[in-house]
């Protein structure tokens, strides 16, 4: 890693350490040992926004998204077994943890959101598909307490409160809806417009 990446990673770990619920989810997720798992979504980048803006670390966080990737069994029953085990593991953490097998998303996405979703080939590919590149951050704790951070667009926008669209995903309405909601909670955000 270069110095900038090391500094960004250390800053991310320090910011996330301010959210005790997030740390508890990471610790228990590591025990579940799900294939290719990451804690991702708002719980990660919104914790950083809260730290940067001086809000309580958990302010505005609706849930904690735990993604994993298991292509060996795409049945709902297999995913439901994981969700049930996770519900037990996270029962006393006090936050909503949404567990999803990203290998299955293409099976239900169109019915729920009205647009097709090509199959992902990894958890990282699912994180890459977020409507804002700023949100494309995943973290996990591996054996020995080593943190793995997946941030294909870096962490600069997250710490600088810049919301940048991901036009390759083509979901302008979803981006604008989320951006408006997030700007109400974090008015310091600079929301970049969807490119024409």
What is the rounded average pLDDT for all residues in the chain?
Answer: 92
- Residues 91-102, mean pLDDT to the nearest whole number: 96
Q: Give the contacts of 144 (CB within 8 A, at least 6 positions apart).
A: none
140 belongs to a structural domain: yes
Does any domain span residue 183?
no
Better-predicted residue by pLDDT, 12 or 145: 12
Q: In the predicted model, is pLDDT for residue 6 greater than 60?
A: yes
* pLDDT over 80 at 54, yes or no: yes
Q: Could you tell me if residue 99 is inside a domain? A: yes
pLDDT in tens, 160-193: 999 999 987 768 898 999 999 999 999 999 999 9
Distances (CA, A) of 144 to 36, 44, 148: 17, 21, 12
59: pLDDT strictly greater than 50: yes
Q: Which residues on adjacent β-strands are paired with residue 84?
A: none
Q: Which residue has the higher pLDDT, 174 or 39?
A: 39
In this structure, is residue 195 part of a structural domain? no
pLDDT tens digits, one per residue of 100-123: 999 999 988 878 877 778 899 999
Which pLDDT does position 71 carry in this prediction? 95
Looking at residue 159, its pLDDT comes to 97
Question: Is residue 7 a part of any domain in this protein?
Answer: yes
Laid out side by side, the sheet with 147-150 consists of: 97-101, 64-68, 38-40, 138-141, 147-150
Highest average pLDDT, of 82-96, 98-112, 140-154, 158-172, comes from 82-96
Calculate mean pLDDT across residues 147-169. Answer: 93
Range of the domain at 33: 3-158
pLDDT for res 167: 84
Residue 136 predicted with pLDDT over 90? yes
pLDDT at 2 over 50: no
| Total structural domains within the chain | 1
Percent residues over pLDDT 90 in the chain: 81
| Among 152, 169, 163, residue whose Cα is nearest residue 186 | 163
In a domain, 127, yes or no: yes
Pull the structure tokens for residue 114.
């009205």
Asked whether residue 20 is assigned to any structural domain, the reply reads yes
CATH number at residue 91: 3.30.460
87 found inside a domain: yes
pLDDT at residue 80 is higher than 50: yes
Q: What is the pLDDT of residue 148?
A: 94
Give me the pLDDT at residue 196, please: 81
């Amino acid at each position: 890693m270069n110095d900038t990446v090391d500094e960004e990673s250390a800053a991310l770990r320090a910011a996330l350490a301010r959210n005790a619920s997030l740390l508890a989810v990471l610790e228990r997720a590591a025990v579940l040992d799900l294939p290719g798992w990451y804690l991702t979504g708002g719980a990660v980048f919104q914790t950083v926004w809260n730290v940067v803006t001086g809000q309580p670390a958990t302010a505005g966080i609706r849930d904690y998204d735990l993604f994993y990737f298991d292509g060996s069994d795409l049945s709902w029953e297999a995913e439901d077994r994981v969700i049930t085990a996770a519900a037990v593991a996270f029962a006393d953490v006090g936050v909503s943890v949404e567990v999803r097998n990203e290998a299955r998303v293409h099976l239900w996405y169109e019915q729920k959101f009205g647009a097709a979703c090509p199959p992902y080939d990894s958890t990282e590919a699912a994180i890459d598909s977020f409507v804002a590149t700023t949100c494309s951050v995943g973290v996990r704790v591996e054996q020995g307490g080593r943190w793995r951070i997946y941030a294909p667009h870096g962490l600069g926008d997250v710490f600088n409160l810049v919301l940048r669209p991901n036009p390759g995903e083509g979901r302008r309405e979803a981006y604008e809806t989320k951006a408006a909601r997030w700007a109400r909670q974090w008015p310091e955000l600079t929301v970049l417009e969807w490119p024409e």
